[in-house]
Structure 1
Amino acid sequence: MIAPQGAEQILIHNLAVWVDSIESFYCHLSDCKSSAEFGEVTNTTSYKCDKIRCSCIPERMLCGKDGSIDLTDFLDQAIRGPGGFECGQTNGGAHDCAFEEPEMDKLIRSLIGDSSILLDCRSGECLHETQVPGYTRPVKQINTPLIAGVIAICALFVVGIIIATWILSRRKLRYGAVRLDDSDDEATKLMAEHKPATLYFENVSYQLNGRTILSGIQGICHPGEVTAIMGASGAGKTTFLDIMARKNKRGSVEGEFLVNGEKVSSSEYKKVVGFVDQEDTMLPTLTVHETILNSALLRLPRDMSRAVKEQRVLEVEKELGIHHIRDSLIGSEEGKGRGISGGEKRRVGIACELVTSPSILFLDEPTSGLDAFNAYNVIECLVTLAKNYQRTVIFTIHQPRSNIVALFDQLVLLAQGKAVFSGPFAQCQSYFDSIGYECPPGFNIADYLVDLTMHAGRRACADDGNIVADRSSVGPSSTKAVKSIASISGNSIGDESAGETSTSSRPRNFRTDSIRLRQERELFTRRRQTADTAASSDVGAEDAGNFKLQVNPSNAIPSQLGEDPHDLPPAAMSGTDLDLMTYAFTQSGIAENVRREIQQAAAAAAEVNSSNSNGYSPDGPNINVGAVGRGFTRIGYWSQFLILSQRTWKNLYRDPMLMLTHYAIAIILAVFSGYLFYGLTDDIAGFQNRLGLFFFLLALFGFSTLTSLNVFSAERLLFLRERANGYYAPITYFTAKVLFDIIPLRIIPPILMGSIIYPMTGLVPDSAHFFRFMLVLVLFNLAAASICLLVGILCKNGGVANLIGSLVMLFSLLFAGFLLNHDATPASALWLQTLSIFHYGFESLIVNEVVELTLIDKQYGLDITVPGAAILSSFGFDNGALWADIRNLGIFALTFIFLAYMAMHFLLVERR
């Protein structure tokens, strides 16, 4: 071996001493360093070895043959090193070499007189250690106590995790009183900075894909009042609420929005509003108090102490009447425990918004899915909040009970995206009475109005004189017990049909349809006004004079309709009820008052701002940041990460089945695989078993990482809502989620499995090979998990995500190098191998294990030794690609984690 000048290498050498062409004894030299020096006359090569072990070959010269000297004991006991071997080559071609070792030099001097063993080397040859004379192949030993110890340690680890999670999940969470300094007025400061906000909106329109969803809506929402947005399904209630809350919409929004008479930038506006969605998106493993506290810690000012934030949480819990359930888990229908009720969950969601003391609170269907009692409790809490704390509360609601309706202050009634009423709820009934849509006695006014908007698309028609006579004495609608709809006219339909014989030729289903049509006609047909009715209208002559609607009823009924008393009278030709109601409202005094108040508020705000221009924002010339009254800095990224990490950790240990399943499978399959591949031999069969073992390990970890598809899918909606409400930055949420998926599920399982399999199967027994083996397993698991993580973020549908994730793993598995030989792969498809994480993982594992082995193939009674590197080359593996493959696995893991974050940051944005 020729090395550069001054270079040193760690080597292992063997020295054999021959007498008369017969080997007498040999020495094994270890911990050697070689160096070479090149001069003008002489080149010198030196080997310095720290350890030497020599052995005699029995019945050989110098080892007792024919009574000769026997150096066996001397070589075994005295020769220990250090020793050296040095050769010098001169221009004349002489090779003067010497082997030196202290004890051997003494022996040589006493027997021969030379200072050391002097040699004249004419040639040299490099041999594999198995070709060195006297070499015996070591017998592979399986360390059974080590195996038992490793399995026991892994099992104890899992048992410890089970016990710890059980204790943590059973621990009763009790939060004591919060102690505050007398001088601490941070909470008072937060409440003092609250500024009541009046929300004005005018000419609000929304278009999506060329279709008009909302058109020409106006109204006012005052602090201290609750505003209900009502209408039939599909009327645009939720869309209108989203627009007022300035949610990201896919379509085009137009209109004028003012807060206290001034325009406000979206960033400032979102700081003082709260939004509660219809669906509950809270983590079921957290308690009520933890859920609200997380919202407070993440969203309240940075300079506010934790104690003050906790105090604020306690105040909100008491305001909403949920203090008694603060230690109860949220729960879910799918979990082990049901948790709190639906009404309590809705109040918890409201509490998460109230901790920030918003001036305006939006709620989408807060009573949806609740029974009558819980629905009333929720609305009562909102009314109390608005009255006592001067909050502006706006919510959508569908068909509320009469006791809930009585709590409304303002009403916005929508029909097919248009406002048919927007004003004080107290004037609602008298207004509709005045335009001919009278609520029948005994009916809930809210039910009547919702049903009226449902049928607003019909052509407007006037009823006959008999019904007018019946309606002339009708007073305000009742919120008491509801009568049968079928009996709202003078004679019930049941009475009307009593005289019919059972042999009637009219089909029964036609009679049923006619009953429904008659109900709709009698409930939702506009009534012709009489003088008495107009005079008794609560709207007043001023409002009534604003709309004189002309209806031309036809008294001529076709004979074919007159024969059937169940059929409707002929329709008028003057448009639909929706057109009539929309026009009537725009011309009414109520709408005029709304427009006048908006103009007055805008003028007053402009006058104030003209005298003080310091409140304007650089966002635009007419945008005032002082209209909402406050703004503060929220906590930093590191604090967000710590809070989210605590939340994720609690969610993990309170629902530990996935984590424990990973650990249990890792240990069980490790023991089973170790049993199947126990004590791998260094022959062709052992090589095949090594290929199968590594392929199985990678396939197991590759497909087990499909659970990463659910890392974000289970909380996708929660993340969208919290991000839209400004809880945290996406990077902090992503880091916390990935960290608590990587460590417990992607690093610990391969460590557990590899620690058991490695000693049981008898892989190369040294620490360097073992740690490289573990490093490859961990990096491969991380790379596969990061790919599945990206797929899970990109695919909203769980079934599609599972299909794509499985196909990606199968595709990568195909190019691992086990199923398809590298040399047999078409040249045009070889580049696909560079995209396979299975290829990098499989090649690095097999090269790490086999490249330094010498395999024995027994054929025809002969032991044929084959270098492992030669076999790997025949399979198409690169013997020198170990660290390159490890590097590529790391690059894959980091790249796909980065891509997953970018996808989450730019694609997982709430768009309604």
Structure 2
Amino acid sequence: MRNAKALLSAAIVIASAAIADAYQSHNVYQSSGFDPALSIFAERPDDCPPCFNCNLADFRCHQFANCTAATGRCSCPAGWGGEDCTDPLCGSLAGGKDRPPRKGDSCDCDDGWDGINCNMCTSNNVCNALVPGGEGGLCYTGGMVVRQNYQQCDVTNKQILDQLKGQKPQVTFSCDAMDETCNFQFWVDQRESFYCGLTNCTAGVELLDDYSNKTSYECEKINCRCVPGRMLCGENGSIDLGDFLEEEIKGPASFTTIMSEGGASDDGSEFSEPAMNDLISSVFGDKKIFLQCNAGECIHESEVPGHERPVKTINTPLIAGIIAGCALFIVAVVLLVYYFSRRQSWGPIHLPDEDDDEAGKLMLDHKPASLAFRDVAYNLKGKEIIHDIQGVVHPGELMAIMGASGAGKTTFLDVLARKNKRGTTYGEFFINGETIADDDFRKVIGFVDQDDTLLPTLTVHETIVDSAMLRLPKDMGISAKMQRVDDVERQLGIHHIRHQLIGSEEGSGRGISGGEKRRVGIACELVTSPSILFLDEPTSGLDSYNAFNVVECLVNLVKNYNRTVVMTIHQPRSNIVALFDQLVLLAQGHVVYSGPFSSCQQYFDSIGFSCPPGFNIADYLVDLTMHAGTPRDPIEDSGSLYNPAEHMTRASSTMAVKSIRSASNIDGDSIGSPADREPLLRPSTKRKLSVRQQQERQLFSRRKNSGVPASTASRTDDEVSLPDDHQQWLRLQTQRGAPPGFNLDDPDATPPLADDTTGTDLDILIAKYRGSQVSSTILEDMENAITSANTANGNPNPDIVTNGNNSKVKGFTRLGLLGQFRILSVRTWRNLYRNPMLMLTHYAIAIVLAVFLGFLFFNLTDDIKGFQNRLGLFFFLLALFGFSTLTSLTVFANERLLFMRERAKGYYSPVSYFAAKVIFDIIPLRLMPPLIMGAIVYPMTGLIPSWPQFSYFILFLVLFNLAAAAICLFIGIIFSNGAVANLIGSLVMLFSLLFSGFLLNHDTIPKAALWLQHLSIFHYGFEGLIVNEVSPLRLIDHKYGLDIEVPGAAILSSFGFNNNNKAIDATSLGIFCASFILLAYAAMHFLLVERR
């Protein structure tokens, strides 16, 4: 065997030299040269040999390619073509089946490709076409197979190079990791000589030192074949190694490469197989084939051997610290709320200084104001509510406006106080005989509404102090203002409750009583020392004791400080009635009496309506107007005329008799004997009157005063004789009036109807007053005041009313916008921290939900699943903040009435109130929660750990929250009905949510509706958050067995998001916030105006 190998080796050397010499001196024939000759077989006869069919034994697929049994064609490996896979292909691997065959001595490869058959990549960009997704391709030159690598090597054995005499020997080596196979080809001047197929191959890398490694392929079996007619394979009758390669080369074989960083002398590759090594050693004296190789394999950048994606880590201590810090913040807020809620306003006692005298000067140096009015009327939607009312009230007097429900008391009081009414007001109003402008008039008056509108979270003292600070003169010292507050509290008897909360039945708990609240409301007006104080039913809802206390305080103000008080009152007690100085009695909008209360009794006695003894005259007068204003029933009227023989009917019960007796003071025993009464039990021609009708007949029938006792007065035919029991009326004396007279049953004895007829007996009362001496006295008093004012102002013409622009009855300069803002800010903050549940709930929910979201979305991965989770996280955050801002609907709802009344009274400018509410009410609820939640969620969910990204994340949450709150604030101001506002707010948020970009792709929105997306704050917030987080990422998508990296920006673009809109989105949210804040203020300024 050894002799055979020796002879074979000698033959190879001799043949190699001869072949090389012949190769240099003769032309090499190409297959193309035989094309003309082969053309004769185009129409060969049927007996010609068969065409190429690898299924036949005469044909073979080279490169150990598989034969397709169905077609008889070879399935050539990459880079090979032709019927039998012996022709190299050019172009590049990216060309696939369309690669062109080589037509010359070498291939002209595409850019970025190299190698004998253009299988080896040289640049990264050409690999994108060979990786799924078309991005992230990488030309790996490390030599270790990933999927299928290709190497081209130059043979470096010196003896072999010398023997080939300038012909270049080369080797191509490729491996398939999935099949565990490799291919080896030996080339001479880029013509394949023989090839080998290696199976059961394993690849490995060994780290030799810090700068070099060794890559090796170990294959258990190897099969080699010659390419017939090529060098070493019988070319030109030379040596043929075919039998040797097929019989002797069996394996195992190895292919190893050593690579060093920067290159080293030991770098290189070698191919080793025992039989081949013996041949090389015997012939050339080398141990094996030595090579210098270049490798190239197109892979995805994530497939680089040894490459491991960095594992995202969560900073647990940071998360724990943030959560603990937020919890401590909540604890601190609770402690501060508790401290401020428990802290009393008591402080060190300050001795009075010079400024304290200002409080006394405010009370003593003011100009007393008398109020006169005539021909006052009010028309609403064509209906006249009040008609031609007149009256006068002087300094030091208290005027009471009385009447039944619906008589027009409150409307008349509003007209006197020059409130902003919905209808049209007529008449003349005079202050000290002069007319003054409405704005100047409102500065010198105070107005107390019937229902209290006080902040329940403030104390009594704080409520009055706020009124004093906002409405007292700007140049008045603080100590003087506080002294004034203290004086008012003592005057009204509320000094002992000054530190109690106002309270309410709804939320803040019960505080002071109803009477105390009424006095606090009065104190808020008295503290400014108004010249005229108007009060709308100040005793309404109070018990008799508290009602008297309230009126007594008003009387003290009137008498001690020469003030003017006008109030409406419904059913005053007799001890309250005794305190009245002037009385205006209204009925159905008409004046029944207006004048001194001391003349009231005598006046009604004089017109035949005397108050019975023991009756409260206020109750009597109100009942009289009601009775007189009731239309008569003709059937009842037929039995209502007084008849001495039929003046009584039999009562249906003892109770009825007592009722009549108490009303008329008639003794039941004096009615007569049963025999006398029997005919009256069932009158057949008269309708029986009810008890109430009988009582009202006795009380409200008009009687004619005779001036002398009825028993001695001469009677006319028109007068009737009363029975003995009625003679008791003649002995009863009223407070100031004469004895009651007889009923006036003759229609001719009644006065004419009034001009504005009511169609009832009320016209009698109206007409009688217009022609009375009381009315004339008031008009005369008014004219005298006008004349005196004209004379004092240098205008002797009594027909010209002086304009009061120069009058001393003027207001004073109040605080500016900055001072108002400071006081209102303190009040708003007190209201917030004394009702802390809303604020604390927002903060607590922010922490709890942040931790819960951090748990659900903990450590988001940078893959498609992580992308989906990011979408869900950001969508939920925006939805949470968007719908939580619906609480802004009630920011002004709870104080709507309070604001309108305080604004009408001139407490402050609307802009000061609005700024205080926005800064100290909305911002604490809209700024802190997103900061708390963002600080916890961001590190727990593993979002990009970068300060710029974190800053944008917080910025978008805050801007979105503020924009949503501004929208809800605007809606809450526009719609006064809470249910409607809540519905509209929810619909607006849902509409905005629909166009966020999460539920509806931007590219699929119809063009006609695309503009609606620009109105969605959810779109700007969601796009800003997702672009800020995902755009810099490269997401992993595991497909086709690969971890494909997909740029986050590409995915966002497919979802319809613009990766360059981050700044635009932030700006848009800011514009939305500012715009709706301005719209909310405009709505408040123009809509929230008191109109009565």
Same fold per TM (> 0.5)? yes
Name 1:41's counterpart in structure 2. Answer: none
Quote how far apart the aligned CAs of 1:140 are.
1.1
Change (3 A) 1:493 1:231: farther
1:223 aligns with 2:403: no
Name 1:759's counterpart in structure 2. Answer: 939
**Contact persistence 1:19–1:61 (CA under 8 A):** no
Change (3 A) 1:693 1:439: same
How many residue pairs are counted as aligned between the two chains? Answer: 770
Aligned pair partner of 2:592 in 399, 420, 426: 420
**AA at the equivalent of 1:456:** A
**Contact persistence 1:199–1:260 (CA under 8 A):** yes
Quote how far apart the aligned CAs of 1:373 are.
0.5
Aligned pair partner of 2:1030 in 827, 843, 850: 850
Change (3 A) 1:128 1:522: farther
**AA at the equivalent of 1:489:** S
**AA at the equivalent of 1:514:** S
**AA at the equivalent of 2:1056:** G
Quote how far apart the aligned CAs of 1:868 are.
1.4
1:732 aligns with 2:912: yes
Distance 1:623 1:735 in 2: 37
Deviations 1:195-237 (A, max 9, x none): 1111000010000000000111000011111110000111110
**Contact persistence 1:193–1:629 (CA under 8 A):** no
Aligned pair partner of 2:534 in 362, 374, 392: 362
Which residues of 2 match residues 331-480 of structure 1 at below 5 A?
Answer: 331-459=503-631, 464-465=641-642
Name 2:212's counterpart in structure 1. Answer: 63
Distance 1:860 1:873 in 2: 23
**Contact persistence 1:779–1:893 (CA under 8 A):** yes
Quote how far apart the aligned CAs of 1:526 are.
2.3
**AA at the equivalent of 2:995:** F
Which residues of 2 match residues 42-441 of structure 1 at below 5 A?
Answer: 58=207, 63-65=212-214, 136-182=308-354, 185-441=357-613
**Contact persistence 1:230–1:412 (CA under 8 A):** yes
Q: Identity, % of aligned pairs?
A: 61
Quote how far apart the aligned CAs of 1:552 are.
4.3
**AA at the equivalent of 1:435:** I
Quote how far apart the aligned CAs of 1:325 are.
1.2
Distance 2:443 2:1082 in 1: 26
**Contact persistence 2:892–2:973 (CA under 8 A):** yes
Change (3 A) 1:165 1:906: same
Distance 1:157 1:374 in 2: 46
Change (3 A) 1:694 1:328: same
Deviations 1:357-412 (A, max 9, x none): 11110000100111111001000111111011100011000011111111111100
Change (3 A) 1:630 1:516: same
Which residues of 2 match residues 567-586 of structure 1 at below 5 A?
Answer: 575-586=759-770
**Contact persistence 1:194–1:630 (CA under 8 A):** no
Distance 2:212 2:598 in 1: 121
1:715 aligns with 2:895: yes
Distance 2:1082 2:708 in 1: 69
Name 1:97's counterpart in structure 2. Answer: none
**Contact persistence 1:415–1:456 (CA under 8 A):** no
1:610 aligns with 2:610: no
Quote how far apart the aligned CAs of 1:342 are.
1.0
Distance 1:57 1:311 in 2: 94
Aligned pair partner of 2:776 in 584, 587, 592: 592
Distance 1:662 1:414 in 2: 53
SS of 2:891's partner is helix
Quote how far apart the aligned CAs of 1:549 are.
11
The structure that has the greater radius of gyration is 2
1:807 aligns with 2:978: no
Quote how far apart the aligned CAs of 1:785 are.
0.2
Distance 2:533 2:813 in 1: 21
Name 1:489's counterpart in structure 2. Answer: 664
Deviations 1:881-904 (A, max 9, x none): 111111100100000000000110
1:816 aligns with 2:1012: no
**Contact persistence 1:493–1:515 (CA under 8 A):** no
CA-atom RMSD in angstroms: 3.8
Q: Higher RCO, 1 or 2 (CA under 8 Å, sep at least 6)?
A: 1
Quote how far apart the aligned CAs of 1:729 are.
0.5
Change (3 A) 1:19 1:770: closer
Name 1:108's counterpart in structure 2. Answer: none
**Contact persistence 1:178–1:311 (CA under 8 A):** no
Quote how far apart the aligned CAs of 1:593 are.
0.3
Give me the TM-score of the superposition, normalised by structure 2: 0.66
Deviations 1:119-172 (A, max 9, x none): xxxxxxxx9986989754211112222111111111111111111111221223
Distance 2:362 2:530 in 1: 10
Relative to structure 2, which stretch is displaced further, 740-749 or 184-193?
Answer: 184-193
Change (3 A) 1:527 1:279: same
Name 2:1076's counterpart in structure 1. Answer: 896
Distance 1:485 1:897 in 2: 68
SS of 2:890's partner is helix
Aligned pair partner of 1:518 in 675, 682, 694: 694
Relative to structure 2, which stretch is displaced further, 210-219 or 136-145?
Answer: 136-145
1:841 aligns with 2:1016: no
Deviations 1:606-633 (A, max 9, x none): 11111699xxxxxx98421343434321
Which residues of 2 match residues 658-737 of structure 1 at below 5 A?
Answer: 658-737=838-917
Distance 2:380 2:858 in 1: 66
Quote how far apart the aligned CAs of 1:866 are.
1.9
Distance 1:579 1:452 in 2: 13
Aligned pair partner of 2:1051 in 854, 871, 895: 871
Change (3 A) 1:739 1:379: same
Distance 1:406 1:769 in 2: 77
**Contact persistence 1:204–1:216 (CA under 8 A):** yes
**Contact persistence 1:179–1:307 (CA under 8 A):** no
Change (3 A) 1:73 1:849: farther
Quote how far apart the aligned CAs of 1:748 are.
0.3
**AA at the equivalent of 2:392:** I
Name 1:827's counterpart in structure 2. Answer: 1007
Aligned pair partner of 1:771 in 935, 942, 951: 951
Distance 1:216 1:69 in 2: 115
**Contact persistence 1:790–1:900 (CA under 8 A):** yes
Where structure 2 has 5 or more consecutive residues not aligned to the other structure, the ranges are 1-137, 147-204, 215-255, 265-298, 649-657, 714-732, 751-756
**Contact persistence 1:248–1:910 (CA under 8 A):** yes
Distance 1:891 1:133 in 2: 51
SS of 2:476's partner is coil
Distance 1:610 1:238 in 2: 37
**Contact persistence 2:605–2:737 (CA under 8 A):** no
Name 1:794's counterpart in structure 2. Answer: 974
**Contact persistence 2:441–2:810 (CA under 8 A):** no
Give me the TM-score of the superposition, normalised by structure 1: 0.78
Distance 2:645 2:415 in 1: 41
